[in-house]
Amino acid sequence: MEEKVRQIREQAIKVIHESQSLASLDEARIRYLGKKSALLELLKSLGTLPSEERPKIGSLVNEAKEAIEQALRSRKIVLMGIEQKQRIAAEKIDVTLPGKGIRRGSSHPLTQVMAEAKDIFLRLGFEIAEGPEIETEYYNFDGLNILPHHPSRDMWSTFFIKDDVLLRTHTSPVQIRVMEKHKPPLAIIAPGRVYRCDSDATHSPVFHQLEGFLVDNKVTFGDLKGVLTDFLRQMFGQEKPVRFRPSYFPFTEPSAEVDVACVLCNGKGCRLCKETGWLEILGSGMIDPNVFKAVGYDAEKVSGFAFGMGIDRIAMLKYGIDNIRLLYENDLRFLEQF
Ligand code: PHE
């Protein structure tokens, strides 16, 4: 009997020491201390022993039990340490590996040109105003002295939404909206999207304009020339020749279109400037007295100039882009060049 207890004890401790995982350790515990274990069987059979042997064997079994429990406890600590190390090793990340890298974007060429134009006028003391892209016929046309059956309406191929609601064909309606609400002196620029029923290599149904106007007492055509010449030189280069050409707009009188020497041939004549040596950049003029009347100003007392330019066109000329669609397709191979 004694021998048997010793054997069980030794075998149990050996198995415990050799177990490699918490799971197999738990199996060993059930096998050597569980309800069906050999030790428990022995305890149960104590009654069959002669009474003088019972205490001795009983205490041997208890000692064995304690020794096995102790072995289980210490092996458990060792195995928990090992398993934790394995888990940490498996979860390890190499923080020195190169990252995925975030690709850096840049602003769209239209955004760049718009920002540059705004900056120049802000430095000259102009303020920014905005207006809606869905306009009424009044602000887009009538208020600007473009009367219903006048042929000049054909200058703007208009997208109508309803009878008197349309997509604004230019940023000039902002002139009326601002002047209706504010008294002179005013120096305003109005950047924004405009729409025309037009589509080819140089015309997109949606494009961008920058409107500007200045109203005060005694504003002259000389002021218009000075401001626009300074703007164009900052935009295209200080040496760039600039010229003012008589033109017609219903809301300005007199009116002028402003050209800069061709960005490609600088005046010699080429395909881009249609052999003229000049590129048309903007429309301008002295604000028509009828416009002042429409906003309730006294046309005898105030005077002012206004201008409007196409930002897409300026971007195309500055960067040598030959198709306006490139500005709207968002092809990264194109955009990454800016
Ligand atoms: N609104 C005109 C256009 O779109 C441009 C312009 C603005 C001309 C202001 C004169 C004064 O063609």
Structure confidence by residue, pLDDT tens digits, 51-101:
888 888 888 888 989 999 999 999 999 999 999 999 999 999 888 988 888
Number of compact structural domains in the chain: 2
Asked whether the beta carbons of 212 and 191 are under 8 A apart, the reply is no
Which residue owns the Cα nearest ligand 1 atom 4? 170
The per-residue pLDDT for 130 is 97
The per-residue pLDDT for 181 is 97
Q: How confident is the model at residue 264 (pLDDT cuts 50, 70, 90)?
A: confident
Share of the chain above pLDDT 90, in %: 71
Cα of 257 vs centre of ligand 1, distance in Å, is 9
> Is residue 96 a part of any domain in this protein?
no
> Is residue 100 a part of any domain in this protein?
no
Cα of 275 vs centre of ligand 1, distance in Å, is 25
Does ligand 1 come within 6 angstroms of the Cβ of 13? no
Cα of 327 vs centre of ligand 1, distance in Å, is 22
- Predicted TM-score (pTM) of the model is 0.72
Pairwise CA distance, residues 135 & 140, whole Å: 6
Cα of 8 vs centre of ligand 1, distance in Å, is 105
**CB under 8 Å, gap of 24 or more: what pairs does 312-316 form?**
312/110, 312/204, 312/207, 312/208, 313/202, 313/281, 314/113, 314/117, 314/235, 314/281, 315/109, 315/110, 315/112, 315/113, 316/202
pLDDT digits (tens, 9 = 90+) for 12-31: 999 999 999 999 999 999 99
Asked whether the beta carbons of 126 and 227 are under 8 A apart, the reply is no
Atom of ligand 1 nearest to the CA of 305: 11
3-state secondary structure of 1: coil
pLDDT digits (tens, 9 = 90+) for 214-247: 999 999 999 999 999 999 999 999 999 999 999 9
Beta strand pairing status for 186-195 and 127-128?
A: parallel
Does ligand 1 come within 6 angstroms of the Cβ of 250? no
If asked whether residues 247 and 133 sit together in one domain, one would say yes
pLDDT digits (tens, 9 = 90+) for 102-114: 888 889 999 999 9
38, pLDDT greater than 90: no
Which residue owns the Cα nearest ligand 1 atom 7? 308
336 known member of a binding site: no
Tokens 């589509």 appear where? 199
> Is residue 99 a part of any domain in this protein?
no
If asked whether residues 286 and 229 sit together in one domain, one would say yes
